[in-house]
A and B are shown apart, each in its own frame.
With several copies, the nearest count.
Chain A
Amino acid sequence: MRTTLDTEWAIAWLQAAADAVAEHRVELSELDRAIGDGDHGENLDRGFSAIAAKLREEAPATPGAAFKLAAMTLMSKVGGAAGPLYGTAFLRAATAVGEATELDPVLLAGALTAARDGVVLRGKAEPGDKTMVDAWTPAVDAAKSAVAAGADVTSVLAAAAAAAEAGATATDPLTARKGRASYLGERSAGHRDPGAASSALILRAAADTA
């Protein structure tokens, strides 16, 4: 039972996230092609592979520094809706953990909450609008419950990832009310939201590396 997560984990997470995004690039763009403009996988892959490249050159000193590196890279490389949203998420997470070198369950759940709040602040989406918020919000709720129940960091992330995956799946029947998919109106129902799907992948990478 791990009590805290360190910088090494933060770096491993980002690298695993980059691998997961690369592996699911086509699939994410396919989802976006159905209800958006077909670039979500490409956009995220551009950003996360740049993160992975930077991490091969410089080693951040703290989890917060790793999150900040991710935030800046995502903001400058991704573009589209996802760039500022994920960028803000990682920036808020970085601020939340500050200079800490070890993240305990409370700090970890706090980081996830800050990330989700950043997405909501930027994008103004509410749960049920069929966006990445629908993956992040259940993930945050699950993480908080796990912390309250005394879970360790690994279990906190496992709970968050599972909830994010369920949240992403649950976007299928929804009608989009934010982002490009909203222009489709009811025709957006019956498709998974690409941003929710990528959020689930990224949170699963966090759990797998913990």
Chain B
Amino acid sequence: MKKLINDPKSVVDESVQGFGLAHADLVSVNPDPLFVTRSGAPVPGKVGLLSGGGSGHEPLHAGYVGIGMLDAAVPGAVFTSPTPDQILPATLAVDSGAGVVHIVKNYTGDVLNFEMAAELAEAEGVQVRTVLVNDDVAVEDSLYTAGRRGVGGTVLVEKIAGAAAERGDGLDAVTEIGRRVNANVRTMGVALAACTVPHAGVPSFELADNEVEIGIGIHGEPGRHRIAMENADSITERLLAPVLADLQLQSGEKVLLFVNGMGGTPLSELYIVYRHAAAVLAEAGLVIERSLVGNYITALEMQGCSISVLRLDDELTALWDAPVNTAALRWGI
């Protein structure tokens, strides 16, 4: 394992410190317990928006702290959810009295730790609502598993709920918008090569030279099944089919198409995937109103991508377009 790190144990701390230094105009870093807040938080009268989870998915979540998106991000160890003693003070730090929405990706560890933190925050008088993100159609038997995982859709939930909070929506309204995004977005991913967790030192799984893993999550965990390598267009169709089937989109509906890189795949390849995904959606009579292509929710240096489709309505589109100023997503400001 070769990585630009000093010590596997200090990866998250040092990386978040560097992030804080590079974006001192946007965020403050609380070193211990570790969390990141928007400069000037809490914003008086505004609902606080907080997310967090294991590290290794950068720019998620700290990269989305700023105007029009998150008020706080709570980074855990690599691929390990943060703990209540981080989540609680971060929640308190961004509560202006209007309450705080926790955006939680549906993994057992995240759910349990955020649940405990929410209970503790409520005990301290802060109103907390949770938006659980579970957009991963790779998980088929959600009854017999921990349920669908939160993956690419998380970025869209954070952007759109963030815009709702910024325009002054109340706690229930922001929660409703976040859940609406989650209900209308589906994602499916593929890995061509695994990533290596710093403290593990070896790749999370092994793929043969001619194999790809379909239905991968964002934690280096294996996916739905392995298949022999195919070309980009075929893989794109494999990823899109369950997404479209699950969303039950009708011809003429408007969507946001999000092709996300897992960290180690060149941008040029993501655009090759986008190209065919756009053709498939057009074929289905769908209108791509908005798009996003890039490394927005990653799994360290994993090679692969995910495709998310979000059904848009006019309100969601307007909230997507609303100004945002974060380290990783910025427009209109």
Direct contact of A and B (CB under 8 A): yes
Within 8 A of A (CB), among B135-172: 138-141, 144-146, 149
Which one of A10-18, A51-59, A81-89, A140-148 contacts B? A81-89
Contacting B146 at CB < 8 Å: which of A38, A42, A79, A178? A178
Which residues of A line the B interface, CB within 8 A? 29, 33, 36-39, 42-43, 46, 75-85, 87, 122-123, 176-180, 182-185, 187
A76 pairs with B83, CB closer than 8 A: yes
B168-227 contacts to A, CB under 8 A, are: 197, 199-200, 202, 204-205, 217, 219-223
Chain B residues with a Cβ closer than 8 Å to the other chain, count: 39
How many angstroms between the C-alpha atoms of A122 and B200 in the bound complex?
Answer: 28
Q: Which of B109, B116, B223 sits near A80, CB closer than 8 Å?
A: B109
Q: Within 8 Å of chain A (Cβ to Cβ): is B82?
A: yes
Given contacts A46-B77, A85-B112, A182-B145, contact A38 B83 (CB under 8 A): no
16 A-B residue pairs with Cβ-Cβ distance under 8 Å, sorted by A, are A37-B79, A42-B199, A46-B77, A75-B83, A75-B84, A79-B54, A80-B80, A80-B109, A81-B108, A83-B109, A84-B112, A87-B116, A177-B144, A183-B149, A183-B221, A183-B222
Residue of B nearest to A45 (CB): B199
Please determine whether A37 and B116 come into contact, CB atoms closer than 8 angstroms.
no
Chief secondary structure at chain B's binding surface: loop
Cβ A36 vs Cβ B108 within 8 A: no
B82 to chain A, nearest CB (A): 6
Count chain B CB atoms within 10 A of each CB in A36, A87, A183, A185 and give the residue with the most: A183
Given contacts A36-B221, A38-B204, A43-B80, 11 further A-B contacts (CB under 8 A): A38-B200, A42-B77, A78-B83, A79-B76, A80-B81, A83-B83, A83-B112, A84-B115, A123-B108, A183-B222, A185-B144
Chain B residues within an 8 Å CB radius of A39? 77-80, 197, 199-200
Q: Which of A77, A178, A185, A187 meets B83, CB within 8 Å?
A: A77
Which residues in B have their C-beta under 8 angstroms from that of A46? Answer: 77
**Shortest Cβ distance from B121 into chain A, in angstroms?**
15
Q: Is the CB of A37 within 8 A of B220?
A: yes
The residue that B116 contacts in the complex, of A36, A75, A77, A123, with Cβ under 8 A, is A75
Shortest distance from the beta carbon of B302 to any chain A beta carbon, whole Å? 12
Bound together, the chains give a CA A185 to CA B142 distance in angstroms of: 10
In the assembled complex, B85 has its CB within 8 A of some CB on chain A: yes
Q: Which residue of B lies closest to A184 (CB)?
A: B222
Q: Are B113 and A180 in contact (CB under 8 A)?
A: no
Among B107, B112, B197, the most chain A Cβ lie within 10 Å of the Cβ of B112
Are A79 and B108 also in contact (CB < 8 A) when A42-B77, A178-B146 are? no
CB–CB B85/A37 < 8 A: no
Q: Which 10 A-B residue pairs are closest in the complex by CB-CB distance?
A: A182-B145, A84-B112, A80-B109, A76-B85, A81-B109, A81-B108, A79-B80, A37-B219, A80-B80, A79-B76
- Interface hub of B149, B217, B221 (most chain A Cβ within 10 A): B221
CB distance from B265 to the nearest CB of A (A): 20
Query: Knowing A36-B221, A38-B220, A182-B146 touch, does A79 contact B200 (C-beta < 8 A)?
Result: no
A183 to B108, CA, bound (A): 12
Contact B116 A84 (CB under 8 A): yes
A42 to B55, CA, bound (A): 14
Which of the residues A37, A176, A184, A185 comes within 8 Å of B204, measured between beta carbons? A37
Residue ID in chain A nearest B84 by CB atoms: A75
Assess whether B112 is in contact with A42, with CB atoms less than 8 Å apart.
no
Provide the bound-state CA to CA distance between A190 and B255, in Å.
42
Which residues of the other chain, B, contact A83 by a CB distance below 8 angstroms? 81, 83, 109, 112-113
